[in-house]
Amino acid sequence: TQQILDFAMSLLGDLREDDEAPVTTRTGPPVELFRFSDPGACVGFLAAALRELSRSEPSASVAILPPSPDASALYHQGLVNSDLSQVRLVENQKFTVLPGIEVTEIEQVKGLELDYIVLADVTDRNYPGTPASRRLLHVGATRAIHQLWLTSVGTPSSLVSGATLV
């Protein structure tokens, strides 16, 4: 959507190679950032939102993209413990290509597109203001077809503070 594209392009900043952004014909919901004081609150919020999404859109594909394999395992376990169905931990790019929730790192989803993407734990610790972090977040953001959310436990990364968000 235009909103996702605008956000993704703002992440790149001066790393953009093209003066003009690609053209998109669709608009959608705004890119949103949700801030939490602890990881448990974040997982609880995501579990409730994803439960509702699975009821309203049972064929939706969702990816939760934490910053590391250890964080992916923690998010996966937290969502499984929240009694969400169809939650899968993806390792070695072994996606099921089925409706449901895939939990993995951004590097694993390069080249794929999913209906909904959650970039999890977008903090300075995980995504410092480096070109590599800018590119990584850009890759994650551009995997979303319909909607993009970001979560932050604590202060969000400075990379998203100037980005196009609600």
- The one-digit pLDDT tens for each residue of the chain (166 residues) are 999 998 998 898 877 777 666 667 788 999 999 999 999 999 999 999 999 999 999 999 999 999 999 999 999 999 999 999 899 999 998 888 789 999 999 999 988 999 999 999 999 999 999 999 999 999 999 999 999 999 999 999 999 975 556 5
CA distances from 34 to 22, 84, 112, 160 (A): 27, 20, 24, 12
pLDDT of residue 12: 87
pLDDT of residue 44: 97
What are 56's two structure tokens?
């309203």
Q: What backbone phi and psi angles, to 5 degrees, belong to 36?
A: -135, 155
pLDDT of residue 95: 84
Q: What is the DSSP string of 41-58?
A: HHHHHHHHHHHHHHHH-T
pLDDT of residue 100: 94
How would you write 125-153 as a 3-class SS string?
Answer: CCCCCCHHHHHHHHHHHCCEEEEEEEEEE
pLDDT of residue 36: 96
pLDDT of residue 19: 63
Check residue 11 and give left, alpha or beta (phi > 0: left; psi -120 to 50: alpha): alpha
Are the C-beta atoms of 95 and 151 separated by less than 8 Å?
Answer: no
pLDDT of residue 162: 58
Question: Which residues sit opposite 102 in a β-bridge?
Answer: 63, 88
Place of tokens 């923690």: 74
